[in-house]
Chains A and B, each alone.
Chain A
Amino acid sequence: DTAVSQTPKYLVTQMGNDKSIKCEQNLGHDTMYWYKQDSKKFLKIMFSYNNKELIINETVPNRFSPKSPDKAHLNLHINSLELGDSAVYFCASSQERAQTQYFGPGTRLLVL
């Protein structure tokens, strides 16, 4: 069984569109994250939720809006997509106060 899953795996869309990426974890963790990996493989955190509460919000354009309907889900909605949003987006989860984060397989977003 997949521990952290993301949908879709691939997303190709036009500039200006709005899209969502979904993440689910079945590990019973209460902290979830979104990371962005650019074309040079550099990974940077975007958001983190703990018990459905936003606890990390890095310098991310407000076109990106995370939503956590419950502890097992963290979705990422992106408005008015731009070329520079093309990247791989990884979801991760961990148990509060534990150190290890478990990553999903990634969503490869290409904005044309």
Chain B
Amino acid sequence: GNSVTQMEGPVTLSEEAFLTINCTYTATGYPSLFWYVQYPGEGLQLLLKATKADDKGSNKGFEATYRKETTSFHLEKGSVQVSDSAVYFCAQNSGGSNYKLTFGKGTLLTVNP
């Protein structure tokens, strides 16, 4: 079945450090890939997405590239801020008649000043 594996946290960084959160997926077809972010006490917000191979999703300084050859969608940011502290979820949607999102287990990021 479809699955998403992302690096376990927690991840603790200093402000302005470089961030990478790894995410790989298994799917029978060609899924769309997403990163969602959950700030403390809030719901999930879509951070970025990519719908086909080699697409790059970007938002708020975050980027992720859909790599079909490595089945990966790693999240990166060049310089994190304290306000980026949150839980980040990688997810896939295989589309078709199955509309459900399959999530990774989430990675807690804490950015210290």
What string of 1s and 0s marks CB contacts (under 8 Å) between A53-92 and chain B? 0011010000000000000000000000000000000101
Secondary structure of the A side of the interface?
strand
What string of 1s and 0s marks CB contacts (under 8 Å) between B69-91 and chain A? 00000000000000000010100
State the CA gap A48–B93 with chains docked (Å).
14
State the CA gap A101–B89 with chains docked (Å).
13
Find residues 32-50 in chain A having any chain B CB closer than 8 Å to their own CB.
Answer: 33, 40-45, 48, 50
Q: Are B106 and A43 in contact (CB under 8 A)?
A: yes
Secondary structure of the B side of the interface?
strand
Q: Contact check: which of B43, B100, B102, B108 meets A104 at CB < 8 Å?
A: B43
Chain A contacts for B36, CB-based, 8 A = 103
Chain A contacts for B51, CB-based, 8 A = 99
Chain B contacts for A92, CB-based, 8 A = 44
Min distance, Cβ B109 to any Cβ of chain A, angstroms: 12
State the CA gap A105–B41 with chains docked (Å).
8
State the CA gap A105–B34 with chains docked (Å).
19
Given A33-B100, A48-B99, are A43 and B43 also a contact pair (CB < 8 Å)?
no
Residue of A nearest to B106 (CB): A41
State the CA gap A44–B103 with chains docked (Å).
7
Given A31-B99, A41-B87, A43-B89, are A103 and B43 also a contact pair (CB < 8 Å)?
yes
State the CA gap A97–B98 with chains docked (Å).
9
Q: Contact check: which of B43, B89, B98, B101 meets A106 at CB < 8 Å?
A: B43
Ordered nearest first, which 4 A-B pairs have the shortest CB separation? A103-B44, A105-B43, A99-B32, A43-B103
Q: Which chain A residues have a beta carbon within 8 Å of chain B's beta carbons?
A: 4, 31, 33, 40-45, 48, 50, 55-56, 58, 90, 92, 94, 96-97, 99-106
Can you name 26 A-B residue pairings with CB atoms under 8 Å?
Answer: A4-B43, A33-B100, A40-B105, A41-B105, A41-B108, A42-B105, A43-B89, A43-B103, A43-B106, A44-B103, A45-B100, A45-B101, A45-B102, A55-B97, A56-B98, A56-B100, A58-B100, A90-B43, A94-B99, A99-B32, A99-B49, A99-B51, A102-B46, A103-B36, A105-B42, A105-B43
